[in-house]
Chain A
Amino acid sequence: MFRFLVCRYGAGLYILPILKAFLLRFSLFFLPLILAGLGLEALVRHIPNDFQVKYRELNRLITSTETLILGNSHVVYGINPALLERPAYNAAFVSQSLDVDAAILKTYLPRAPRLRTVILTVDYTAPGYRLHRSAENWRAKNYLLYTPVEVPHKPAHHFEVLSLPLPISAERIWEYYVENKDPDLITRNLGFAVSVVQGETEFNNNGRIAAGRHTNYDELIRQENEASLVKIAELCLQANVKLQLITLPYHEDYMVNREQSQVALQEEMITNLTDQFSNVSYDDTAARDQYSENNFRDSDHLNERGATVFTTRLNALLRGGRR
């Protein structure tokens, strides 16, 4: 036993001074980089962003919110809560997948005593898109850093500077601190978003590209998203909240370029959920023939005018939908 300890710690003590010197030099070498990184991180986090604005408002209004809107960019640009008859909040955001919707609901449901309806879109992207499995996974850092919502993420997403290429962070710092330019925020009142990109929109090519980007059916992701939908429905059921599934209008050019097999899977996901849960209903609220090109920002997003038309029609549906 004694011999074993001598060997064991003898060897350990022998290497320790050399190792200590190495680690010290290594740490000293990296110290300026770590300090620079932390400095950049602090500077980037201080720049106002959509998530800070949106969730500050949501935290303030959640206790009085009766309708919570969830979904992706189609929803955040397409539903203006200020036009709904009951107090509502649009918690949708760009590239937000169904698992993130479920996480938001799980976080805010206990804080929303007056919540009666959750509006959610299960759109064409549902059978193949999940934030943390996509190239957009860097967006997970927004939820981690600026909201109380826990979403699947990589360790790097705990830092702004590690989530995105450094030139992007450097550009944001330069514009905000040196050029004194305010960041382009899309979030407006009650979580509704308006695109900062202005000007003429070219639909023809845009519809093909957008539909192509969204055509990415994946069986594993479909199953995971179905599970997220069930989770959302169960959370709503437990809180006696109605889950209203909706469809947003898209430009014809987007519609015709969709893969029909993926559309069928999307519809199957909706049917499975409405069949399984009594508190879930689905209405095809698109009424595409009632929208003109003036109502679209691009082939798959409504503009402010289009959102006004759509939200006004949504009111009628919700009037009869409260449990």
Chain B
Amino acid sequence: MLFNTPEFAVFLLVVFAIYWLALGGRRRAQNGFLLLASYFFYACWDWRFLSLIILSTLVDYTIARALAATVKLTTRRLLLGLSLVVNLGILGAFKYYNFFLDALYSLRPDLQTALGFNSLDVLLPVGISFYTFQTLSYTIDVYRHQLKPSSDLISFAAFVSFFPQLVAGPIERATNLLPQFNGNRHFDRVAATDGLRQILWGLVKKVVIADTCAPFVNEIFAGAPDMNASALLFGIVLFSFQIYGDFSGYSDIAIGTARLFGFNLKRNFAFPYFSRDVAEFWRRWHISLSTWFRDYLYIPIGGSRRGKWTVVRNVFIVFLVSGFWHGANWTFLAWGFMHALFFLPLLLTNSNRNHLGIVAQGKLLPSWREAIAVLITFSLVSLAWVFFRADSIGHAFVYLRGLVSPSLLAIPSVAESKDLAAACLLILGFTLVEWLGRADEYATETFLLRYSTPVRFAAYYLQLCFVFWCAGTEQAFIYFQF
């Protein structure tokens, strides 16, 4: 059940109505109902993989309670290790087994007959990387005494499987979300209206921007060897907007949906393409994942404290693992490697925290210096996206080689160039709205509230018209595959 389908709209309406009208004020019943709704939501993808979520939930619930019951360090370490083995074991088996086996056999072909292990023909359970990291952070927080273990299995299971963010995040911390399941919730009209506004903007990002870019990106990347350089350049830019619209659109819908039920999820995107350097980009892109890696990987392995070479090593570890988290393919590792290369100079020269506020704060336009910095950052990030989108490293190099050509100034060799022009106009309009609303949580949060009701409603209807006009051919969210 995709967020951008009529089926989800009906599901949301029914769950919302039962949650507030029939169960309002009854926290435990609301949690139980949310758990059932979330399991139903997940079962719509593939009911067989529900067992994995249930297993992960039970393991971490039990281990966390056992952790709280003992002070013995060895036992605590063993329990934490058990949680890591189970969670990462499931993730590894489904996501990385074939990759490692293929890598091993390509290095040592003789082992194929000696070991006798074959590749597994298994589907990747949707959202497995997201909920695994969520439950892992819970156990680690309990191990570190930063959180008391939950004594309510239903609340905890609802926290793990909460349907708005189950399949593609934001990856919530138990410290933020679990207390919300344990507290009473009252319907807040302002929050719910704001949630609806954020859902609408998320739909615009997904359906109007990402799905409009998708056919061009598919065509250009598939036919990269035959495309002229200008088409390849357009392909990179369009993919940058596709992945941003797709993933941040999903996050907006997830956060907005959660608000309808009285929950506040963490912000996941903060206008990353207006960043002035790559360090700022990583504070604004997929925030829930980058902070997860900071807190549970980068800092535990030493962070920036133990000398230059340790810093270099740690940065590479974090970015490579982050790339690998996205998928079992060398292309994701290359993507992570590139970002490590972009990030490291900033860290080593202590320039990684130069830009903590928003660009051109309080001004309509940026300075020349800011504009150039934003453009350079966008170019670097977009260049790395080529590896993220390509089928293989070879494919990425073919793509990049094709860019070095005099045809960079020619008309792009795509099938529907008129539609390409329309897509570019949409992107320009979208970027303008994002720029105007960059001081807020999401672009249309307060931007429209300055205007009178008729103007505001006209803007909402306009967004809806765009969504309905561009909807129809369902495109799955890119991050569902991770």
**Chain A residues proximal to chain B, CB less than 8 Å:** 7-8, 10-12, 14-16, 18-19, 21-22, 26, 29, 32-33, 154-156, 162, 164-168
Interfacial chain B residues near A22, Cβ < 8 Å: 187, 189, 192-193
Once the chains are docked, how many angstroms separate the CA of A137 from the CA of B25?
42
Verify B10–A155 contact, CB threshold 8 A: yes
The winner among B10, B20, B460, B470 for most chain A CB atoms within 10 A is B20
Interfacial chain B residues near A21, Cβ < 8 Å: 189
With known contacts A11-B25, A22-B189, A29-B457, A155–B7 Cβ distance under 8 A: yes
Q: Does B471 contact A (CB under 8 A)?
A: yes
Once the chains are docked, how many angstroms separate the CA of A48 from the CA of B25?
52
Q: How many Å from the CB of A114 to the closest CB on chain B?
A: 42
Verify A15–B472 contact, CB threshold 8 A: no
Q: Which of B7, B196, B472 meets A168, CB within 8 Å? A: B472
Verify B471–A12 contact, CB threshold 8 A: no
Residue of A nearest to B22 (CB): A12
Minimum-distance CB pairs A-B, first 9: A11-B25, A165-B472, A15-B187, A156-B6, A15-B24, A22-B189, A12-B24, A19-B187, A166-B468
Q: How many Å from the CB of A217 to the closest CB on chain B?
A: 14
Once the chains are docked, how many angstroms separate the CA of A18 from the CA of B192?
11
Known: A165-B471, A165-B472, A166-B471. 16 other contacts (CB 8 A): A7-B25, A8-B25, A11-B24, A15-B20, A15-B24, A15-B186, A18-B187, A19-B20, A19-B21, A19-B24, A32-B461, A154-B5, A154-B7, A166-B468, A166-B469, A167-B472
Interfacial chain A residues near B469, Cβ < 8 Å: 165-167
Verify B7–A166 contact, CB threshold 8 A: no
Interfacial chain B residues near A10, Cβ < 8 Å: 25
Once the chains are docked, how many angstroms separate the CA of A126 from the CA of B438?
52
Interface positions, chain B 432-482, Cβ under 8 Å from A, are 457, 460-461, 464, 468-473
Interfacial chain A residues near B186, Cβ < 8 Å: 14-15
Interfacial chain A residues near B468, Cβ < 8 Å: 166
Residue of A nearest to B468 (CB): A166
Could you list 12 A-B pairs, sorted by A, with CB under 8 Å?
A8-B25, A11-B26, A12-B25, A15-B186, A19-B24, A19-B189, A22-B193, A29-B457, A154-B7, A165-B469, A165-B471, A166-B468
Verify B7–A156 contact, CB threshold 8 A: yes
Interfacial chain B residues near A33, Cβ < 8 Å: 461, 464
Once the chains are docked, how many angstroms separate the CA of A7 from the CA of B373?
58
Once the chains are docked, how many angstroms separate the CA of A220 from the CA of B380?
43
Once the chains are docked, how many angstroms separate the CA of A217 from the CA of B24?
50
Residue of B nearest to A135 (CB): B473
Interfacial chain A residues near B471, Cβ < 8 Å: 165-166
Q: How many Å from the CB of B226 to the closest CB on chain A?
A: 15
The winner among B6, B10, B457, B472 for most chain A CB atoms within 10 A is B472
Q: How many Å from the CB of A63 to the closest CB on chain B?
A: 38
Interfacial chain B residues near A155, Cβ < 8 Å: 6-7, 10
Interfacial chain B residues near A7, Cβ < 8 Å: 25
Once the chains are docked, how many angstroms separate the CA of A201 from the CA of B196?
51
Once the chains are docked, how many angstroms separate the CA of A8 from the CA of B22?
10
Interfacial chain A residues near B464, Cβ < 8 Å: 33
Interfacial chain A residues near B193, Cβ < 8 Å: 22
Residue of B nearest to A7 (CB): B25
Interfacial chain B residues near A15, Cβ < 8 Å: 20, 24-25, 186-187
Q: How many Å from the CB of B460 to the closest CB on chain A?
A: 7
Interface of chain B, main secondary structure: helix
Verify B473–A165 contact, CB threshold 8 A: yes
Verify B24–A162 contact, CB threshold 8 A: no
Total A-B pairs, Cβ < 8 A: 57
Q: How many Å from the CB of B115 to the closest CB on chain A?
A: 26
Interfacial chain A residues near B21, Cβ < 8 Å: 19
Residue of A nearest to B26 (CB): A8
The winner among B189, B196, B464 for most chain A CB atoms within 10 A is B189
Verify A18–B189 contact, CB threshold 8 A: yes
Once the chains are docked, how many angstroms separate the CA of A11 from the CA of B187?
11
Q: How many Å from the CB of A159 to the closest CB on chain B?
A: 8
Interfacial chain B residues near A18, Cβ < 8 Å: 187, 189
Q: Which of A26, A29, A154, A166 meets B472, CB within 8 Å? A: A166
Interfacial chain A residues near B189, Cβ < 8 Å: 18-19, 21-22
Interface positions, chain B 5-24, Cβ under 8 Å from A, are 5-7, 10, 20-21, 24
Q: How many Å from the CB of B335 to the closest CB on chain A?
A: 29
Once the chains are docked, how many angstroms separate the CA of A7 from the CA of B471?
45
Once the chains are docked, how many angstroms separate the CA of A196 from the CA of B343?
59
Once the chains are docked, how many angstroms separate the CA of A165 from the CA of B467?
10
Interfacial chain B residues near A165, Cβ < 8 Å: 469-473
Interfacial chain A residues near B25, Cβ < 8 Å: 7-8, 10-12, 14-15
Produce 1/0 per residue, B21-33, CB < 8 A to A. 1001110000000
Once the chains are docked, how many angstroms separate the CA of A16 from the CA of B22?
10
Interfacial chain B residues near A29, Cβ < 8 Å: 457, 460
Residue of B nearest to A169 (CB): B472
With known contacts A14-B25, A29-B460, A33-B464, A162–B6 Cβ distance under 8 A: yes
Q: How many Å from the CB of A231 to the closest CB on chain B?
A: 24
Once the chains are docked, how many angstroms separate the CA of A277 from the CA of B187?
63
Interfacial chain B residues near A164, Cβ < 8 Å: 472
Residue of A nearest to B20 (CB): A19
Interfacial chain A residues near B24, Cβ < 8 Å: 11-12, 15-16, 19
Q: How many Å from the CB of B232 to the closest CB on chain A?
A: 24
The winner among B24, B192, B457 for most chain A CB atoms within 10 A is B24
Interfacial chain A residues near B196, Cβ < 8 Å: 26
Residue of B nearest to A26 (CB): B196
Once the chains are docked, how many angstroms separate the CA of A26 from the CA of B196?
10
Once the chains are docked, how many angstroms separate the CA of A164 from the CA of B471?
8
Once the chains are docked, how many angstroms separate the CA of A19 from the CA of B470?
32
Q: How many Å from the CB of A29 to the closest CB on chain B?
A: 7
Q: How many Å from the CB of B278 to the closest CB on chain A?
A: 38
Once the chains are docked, how many angstroms separate the CA of A15 from the CA of B470?
37
Once the chains are docked, how many angstroms separate the CA of A162 from the CA of B386?
34
Once the chains are docked, how many angstroms separate the CA of A19 from the CA of B16?
11
Interfacial chain B residues near A154, Cβ < 8 Å: 5, 7
Residue of A nearest to B121 (CB): A219
Once the chains are docked, how many angstroms separate the CA of A49 from the CA of B443?
43
Once the chains are docked, how many angstroms separate the CA of A267 from the CA of B457?
60
Residue of A nearest to B464 (CB): A33
Q: How many Å from the CB of B27 to the closest CB on chain A?
A: 9
Q: How many Å from the CB of B192 to the closest CB on chain A?
A: 6
Produce 1/0 per residue, B352-374, CB < 8 A to A. 00000000000000000000000
The winner among B25, B193, B196, B471 for most chain A CB atoms within 10 A is B25
Produce 1/0 per residue, B154-195, CB < 8 A to A. 000000000000000000000000000000001101001100
Q: How many Å from the CB of B170 to the closest CB on chain A?
A: 25
Q: How many Å from the CB of A36 to the closest CB on chain B?
A: 9
Once the chains are docked, how many angstroms separate the CA of A154 from the CA of B6?
10
Residue of A nearest to B260 (CB): A22
Q: How many Å from the CB of B263 to the closest CB on chain A?
A: 16
Produce 1/0 per residue, B207-246, CB < 8 A to A. 0000000000000000000000000000000000000000
